[in-house]
């Protein structure tokens, strides 16, 4: 069974309050509640307007550092709020905690993962506008992620392994499709900024409606092929929403057919990953199944 990795540090309310007391004492008395315990990070709500984002394993520690370094500069030119750190936490001896951590804004609203896909169509233009603003040339020193933004050939072995070892519907057809898509010409434009993990659980809907209110979790932020983020067309939307998103994105950026084909391939990459690693998370298992069905049914 593919379960989430074991935490290397037990991130508790007590530990985080002690870290706040040691490094940001003016925040330490605010109410603190655990709200999410993911693969890489634990998130706690801090008072009404803040959250604390704390890595639970060493592999995530560098990703938090990337957010701390780069998000404050990106945030002002993006059309939607993002969790740029408002306070930075550092490794601590007492209480012991070995990695960087952050205090970030809290965004009220619903996770798009909890909303019916037909209702997500309403925010397709918002997401296209966000990505058009994000996908600008990144500096040479931008973070490098070996699993995102790279040529599809880099992911070929892992995708084939998942399609032959994980029980997914229509695995043979998906393998045939991947064999075609992996041959699509690679991105030959500048390496652009990427979110890197653009699925509906990282999209927050504004209270009282179905418009996009914030984009969160930039732990996989990197630079490279914009098709990686455009895979959200298959991951997040149904066929109708995908057309709205694709038309809006193409109108803004002139996205060519080869990039959309690579985006479809990236949706297959990520859909197989969701399917392979969600035995303890039914919502993501369903997201993987949806994504692969959308990818396969889009001929």
Condensed to tens digits (0 to 9), the pLDDT of residues 36-65 reads 888 789 999 999 999 999 999 998 898 899
Q: Does the structure show a pLDDT above 70 at 167? A: yes
Give the pLDDT of residue 242: 98
Output the CATH code of domain 13-105.
3.30.200.20
What confidence tens digit (pLDDT) does each residue in 216-262 have? Answer: 999 999 999 999 999 999 999 999 999 999 999 999 999 999 999 99
Q: Does the structure show a pLDDT above 90 at 157? A: yes
Backbone φ and ψ for 280, nearest 5 degrees, come out as -105, 15
Residue given tokens 């969600």 in the structure block: 278
3-class DSSP assignment, residue 250: helix
Measured distance CA(38)–CA(287) in Å, rounded: 16
- Level-2 CATH architecture, domain 110-296: Alpha-Beta Complex (3.90)
Measured distance CA(89)–CA(91) in Å, rounded: 7
Interval 169-174 mean pLDDT: 89
Interval 95-108 mean pLDDT: 96
Interval 137-161 mean pLDDT: 95
Give the pLDDT of residue 169: 79
3-class DSSP assignment, residue 32: strand
**Range of lowest pLDDT (2-16, 69-83, 240-254, 255-269):** 2-16
Which one, of 43, 61, 40, lies nearest residue 52 by Cα? 43
Domain boundaries, the chain: 13-105, 110-296
Q: How confident is the model at residue 4 (pLDDT cuts 50, 70, 90)?
A: low
Give the rounded distance of the alpha carbon of 212 from its chain centre.
15
Q: Measured at the alpha carbon of residue 35, what is the angle toward residues 43 and 284, in degrees to the nearest 5?
A: 90
Give the pLDDT of residue 176: 96
Question: Do residues 178 and 163 lie in contact, with contact meaning Cβ atoms separated by under 8 Å?
Answer: yes
Give the pLDDT of residue 1: 41
Interval 164-191 mean pLDDT: 92
What confidence tens digit (pLDDT) does each residue in 130-145 have? Answer: 999 999 999 999 998 9
Share of the chain above pLDDT 90, in %: 85
Which one, of 255, 293, 248, lies nearest residue 124 by Cα? 248
From the number of C-beta atoms within 10 Å of its C-beta (0-12, 13-18, 19+), residue 207 rates as exposed
Which one, of 178, 194, 156, 200, lies nearest residue 265 by Cα? 178
Q: How confident is the model at residue 171 (pLDDT cuts 50, 70, 90)?
A: confident
If you compute the radius of gyration of the chain from its CA atoms, what whole number of angstroms results? 19
Give the pLDDT of residue 280: 67
Question: Do residues 229 and 195 lie in contact, with contact meaning Cβ atoms separated by under 8 Å?
Answer: yes
Question: Do residues 213 and 80 lie in contact, with contact meaning Cβ atoms separated by under 8 Å?
Answer: yes
Concatenated DSSP letters for 101-112?
EEEEE---SEEG
Query: What is the chain's mean pLDDT, rounded?
Result: 94
């Amino acid at each position: 069974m593919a379960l989430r990795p074991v935490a290397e540090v037990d991130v508790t309310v007590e530990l985080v309050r002690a870290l706040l007391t040691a490094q940001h004492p003016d925040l330490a008395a605010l109410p603190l509640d655990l709200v999410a315990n993911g693969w890489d990070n634990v998130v706690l709500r801090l008072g009404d307007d803040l959250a604390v984002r704390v890595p639970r394993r060493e592999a995530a520690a560098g990703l938090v550092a990337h957010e701390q370094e780069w998000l404050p500069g990106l945030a002002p030119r993006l059309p939607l709020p993002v969790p740029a750190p408002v306070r930075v936490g550092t490794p601590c001896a007492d209480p012991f905690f070995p990695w960087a951590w952050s205090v970030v804004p809290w965004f009220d609203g619903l996770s798009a993962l909890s909303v019916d896909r037909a209702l997500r169509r309403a925010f397709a233009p918002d997401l296209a506008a966000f990505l058009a603003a994000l996908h600008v040339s990144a500096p040479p020193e931008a973070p490098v992620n070996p699993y995102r933004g790279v040529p599809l050939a880099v992911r070929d072995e892992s995708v084939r392994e998942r399609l032959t070892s994980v029980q997914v519907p229509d695995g043979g057809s998906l393998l045939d499709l991947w064999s075609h898509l992996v041959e699509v010409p690679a991105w030959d434009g500048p390496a652009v900024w990427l979110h890197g993990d653009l699925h509906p659980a990282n999209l927050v809907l504004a209270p009282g409606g179905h418009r996009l209110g914030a984009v969160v979790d930039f732990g996989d932020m990197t630079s490279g092929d914009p098709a990686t983020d455009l895979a959200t067309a298959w991951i997040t939307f149904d066929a109708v929403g995908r057309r709205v998103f694709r038309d809006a994105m193409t109108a803004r950026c002139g996205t060519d057919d080869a990039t959309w084909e690579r985006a479809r391939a990236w949706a297959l990459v990520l859909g197989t990953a969701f399917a392979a690693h969600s035995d303890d998370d039914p919502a993501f298992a369903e997201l993987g199944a949806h994504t692969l069905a959308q990818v396969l049914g889009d001929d």
